[in-house]
Amino acid sequence: MRFTAVELIERKRDGLALSPEQIEWLISAFTSGEVTDYQMAAMAMAVYLRGLDAVELSTWTDAMLHSGETLDLSGLRGPKVDKHSTGGVGDKVTIPLLPMVRACGVLAPTLTGRGLGHTGGTRDKLESIPGLSTSLSSDRFMEVLSTHGMVYGGQSENLAPADAKLYALRDATGTVPSLPLIASSIMSKKLAEDLDGLVLDVKTGAGAFMPDPARARELAATMVGLGKAHGVATTAFLTSMESPLGREVGNACEITESIRTLRGEGPEDLWEVTLALGSEMLLLAGGVSDETAARRMLTRAVESGEALEVFRRVVQAQGGDPAVVDDPSLLPAATRRARVRAAESGYVSVCHALTVGIAATRLGAGRERKEDSIDPGVGIRILAKPGDRVERGQTLAEVSYEDENRWEAVRDYLAGAWSIDDHPPDAAPLIGERIRSSEMD
């Protein structure tokens, strides 16, 4: 059956549901170029204003994931579980998490993305390791995964290509915040991985892509529902992004912190989120009976050194220099240093994640436009977080940078990330609600 873009745009504009056949035709025709960019931009705005019901969203996501190649992992023995984060400042969880999960016997494939704006990209962080490439062909992706039980892949242009085209239009037409379009964008790529289980880390708070808790929860529930509809056991956690996660914000410096975490020396907040997500991955894989047992397994994988050894082998398999695992000083490092100091004594009440993330981006650690290059050696080390007592003149953060003009432009802005009060703040929970597909109606 043949349709026209105009009739489908008008139908959605008027608040009517699109049939599965109409959606499948639309996505296919957009991928091939039959539906023009300006027509799909109009459809994106109609979806932004009118939304998609559950059937429409499931069909839309399915059409997106089948718009290009998909992975076939059926030949690999064992459960395959991945993790996805909606992004945050200092969020390097994927890097230590996957080796820990793999050391517990679960296959852990992942397709990582690049950073844009104040949230860093796992792919950029990994590629700060000299020689390491995440640009793997499908054959090479499968070879690393089958040999080592995990792989850090990069999102391919051939995987869900309709999503890449549509995202570019959404970015230029003010429709990025559309919840169904966000959910289908994330899940179409993850479902194309042929997974048995998926854990989602949905950030909320000042430094999150979706700061409003109610909207973040709605997004989490929507994505879990999509996973369930496509036969993939899915769990979403709502986690806080009011403050940066861990102590390091940048690229190479976050690899260093990831290595420390794999040695059992990572910061408490990063360790807690990694354990929570990893435990759920093991539960979805079916290898443990409860969360306590899962946490013990992950902790043993770190204490025994096996998780670090998995990381070393995968780094080498993907062309990276394994020596950095023993000596992180081999990673890129900016040559200039500066300090942010406390203007008064008291307790840190706020370390604003968004401000820190934007400052790191402006110093060169991230991209404000897709075509921007990044400096992997730029970083901000957070030395004072909410609840810490500081004295006037004490160092709040150490900054590594190259461009003096950039530092002068961002110095005062970064200093504004910290608020200091007379009394310690109330402790805020790091990990909030957990939504499981197995518990959904």
State which H helix or E strand residue 98 sits in: helix 94-103
How distant, in Å, are the alpha carbons of 101, 298, 409 from that of 106?
Answer: 6, 11, 46
Q: Residue 151: which H helix or E strand, with range? A: strand 150-154
pLDDT per residue as tens digits for the range 390-431: 999 999 999 999 999 999 999 999 999 999 999 999 988 999
Q: Per-residue pLDDT tens for 332-358?
A: 999 999 999 999 999 999 999 999 999
Contacts of 276 (CB under 8 A, 6+ apart): 237, 431
pLDDT(1) > 70: no
CB 72 within 8 A of CB 104: no
Mean pLDDT for 8-27 is 97
Which active-site residues does the annotation give? 84, 163, 170, 185, 189
Question: Is the pLDDT reported for residue 149 higher than 90?
Answer: yes
Query: What mean pLDDT do residues 265-274 have?
Result: 98
pLDDT tops 70 at residue 168: yes
Whether pLDDT at 205 is above 90: yes
Q: Residue 306, class by beta-carbon neighbours within 10 Å (0-12 exposed, 13-18 middle, 19+ buried)?
A: middle
Give phi and psi for 20, each to the nearest 5.
-55, -40
Integer Cα distance of 302 and 264 in angstroms? 6
Q: In this structure, are residues 49 and 177 in contact, taking their beta carbons and an 8 Å threshold? A: no
Asked if residues 281 and 235 have their Cβ atoms less than 8 Å apart, the reply is no
Distance of CA 160 to CAs 135, 192, 249, Å?
Answer: 16, 8, 30
**Reported pTM:** 0.94
Is there a contact between 277 and 199 (Cβ–Cβ < 8 Å)?
Answer: yes
